[in-house]
Amino acid sequence: QQQVKQSPQSLIVQKGGIPIINCAYENTAFDYFPWYQQFPGKGPALLIAIRPDVSEKKEGRFTISFNKSAKQFSLHIMDSQPGDSATYFCAAKSFGNEKLTFGTGTRLTIIP
Amino acid sequence: EAGVTQFPSHSVIEKGQTVTLRCDPISGHDNLYWYRRVMGKEIKFLLHFVKESKQDESGMPNNRFLAERTGGTYSTLKVQPAELEDSGVYFCASSRRGRGETQYFGPGTRLLVL
């Protein structure tokens, strides 16, 4: 039983477009929602994270939108660049428990 | 500051053999985690050390997996005997003491059991 469902599995977007990756969760105890970015041969690296007391968080070209009632959150990448091509993982964590529960990942390709 | 390092980067072994993976966390990080990604699936939590103590080992698949963290520094994950379904990428991560600290991941060890 997957606690964090992520879609799409893969995504191809033209440079300058706005890729959107979606995640949904079941566990209402989750209170921290990070996104990780992974390049080939590297480990996942924290990109941006949000807590459920806000509906949106922006850091540079990356934005998380959070819908607590729907138990969904999404990552938007503005003005996407070929260098953004990577695998993106959403994750969730509950208070008092340090383990991260990940989605299945989205392989994003930005074509020039 | 050096990142999390893992050794080896790749390992190919036959079913029934033993493999030991090593993780060196970022210096000063008390928390150390092991995760695994089977191809195409999610990254799954295996266990969490705080210094040398196992805080949570709820994700360990079975007793063929043994994790240790001697002296609260580096950690090893031994698989004995390895089975085909153990193939995947094993990630180690570390974080500072305290709740909600960022977990920094190593590059992973790619294990293939034939």
Among A27-31, A35-39, A81-85, the range scoring the smallest mean pLDDT is A27-31
Among A1-5, A22-26, A38-42, the range scoring the smallest mean pLDDT is A1-5
Strand partners of residue A6: A23
Rounded to whole angstroms, the Cα distance separating B44 from B90 reads 9
Q: How many domains is chain A built from? A: 1
pLDDT of residue B56: 94
The CA distance from A103 to the nearest CA of chain B, in Å, is 5
pLDDT of residue A62: 98
pLDDT of A1 strictly over 70? no
Q: Which domain holds residue B76?
A: 5-113
CA torsion, ordered B83, B33, B27, A90, to nearest 10 deg = 110
Q: Does B108 touch chain A (CB under 8 A)?
A: yes
pLDDT of B1 strictly over 70? no
pLDDT of residue B101: 83
CB contact under 8 A, A102 and B44: yes
Chain A residues at the B interface, defined by Cβ less than 8 Å, are: 2, 4, 6, 32, 36, 41-46, 89, 91, 93, 95-105
Q: How many domains is chain B built from? A: 1
Model confidence pLDDT, tens digit, residues A30-40: 999 999 999 99
pLDDT of residue B80: 96
- Looking at residue B70, which CATH number applies to its domain? 2.60.40.10
- Partners of B38 on chain A (C-beta within 8 Å) are none
Q: In chain A, what is the straight-line distance between the N-terminal and C-terminal CA atoms, in Å?
A: 38
Rounded to whole angstroms, the Cα distance separating A36 from A34 reads 7
Confidence grade of residue A96 (pLDDT, cut at 50, 70, 90): confident
The count of CB pairs under 8 A between chains A and B is: 60
Model confidence pLDDT, tens digit, residues B18-57: 999 999 999 999 999 999 999 889 999 999 999 999 999 9
A33-to-A26, A88, A94, B62, B102 alpha-carbon distances in Å: 13, 13, 9, 28, 12
Q: Residue A17 has which token pair? A: 């477009």
Residue of A nearest to B101 (CA): A98
Rounded to whole angstroms, the Cα distance separating B114 from B69 reads 28
Closest CA to A90 of A37, A53, A42: A37
Confidence grade of residue B73 (pLDDT, cut at 50, 70, 90): very high
Model confidence pLDDT, tens digit, residues B83-104: 999 999 999 999 998 777 899 9
- Partners of A91 on chain B (C-beta within 8 Å) are 43
- Looking at residue A88, which CATH number applies to its domain? 2.60.40.10
